[in-house]
Amino acid sequence: MAPIARAADPRSIDVELYGVVRLRAGVDRVALPAGTLAEVLGALARRCPALAPELIRDGHASAHLLVALDGREVIDDPARPIAPGSCLVLTSAQAGG
């Protein structure tokens, strides 16, 4: 697999933002503490309030948000642990072109 960008702090995770998610958030990358997906998304929504509630609500990704673990596996289980050093790719769920 391609090398995955790592957060500077090995205990945290990288969140990469693309498309309208990036536009809303105003940043293209955020480092957050590792935890469950719900905990990570909750922390992201607090850091980037413009993502709530349309894209993130109560730590849950809405139907309009795609979350890919390490850019490879699309995940939506709020209880899914996100290990330190992982990367979450966030983008719009609509892929058509």
Cβ proximity to another protein, 20 vs 43, nearer residue: 20
Burial class (CB in 10 A: 0-12, 13-18, 19+), 97: exposed
What is the nearest approach in angstroms of another protein to the Cβ of residue 13?
Answer: 16
Of residues 86, 90, 91, 73, the one with CA closest to residue 7: 86
Q: Give the pair of three-digit tokens for residue 38.
A: 């719900």
What is the nearest approach in angstroms of another protein to the Cβ of residue 32?
Answer: 18
Site for another protein in 26-45 (CB under 8 A): none
The site string for another protein over 49-78 (x = CB under 8 A, - otherwise) reads -----xx------xxx-x-x--xxxxxxx-
Cα–Cα distances (Å) from 88 to 4, 20, 97, in that order, read 10, 16, 23
Binding test (CB under 8 A) with another protein, winner from 9, 23, 46, 49:
23
Beta bridge partners of 61: 56
**Interface with another protein by CB under 8 A: which residues?**
1-2, 16, 18-20, 23, 54-55, 62-64, 66, 68, 71-77, 89, 91-97
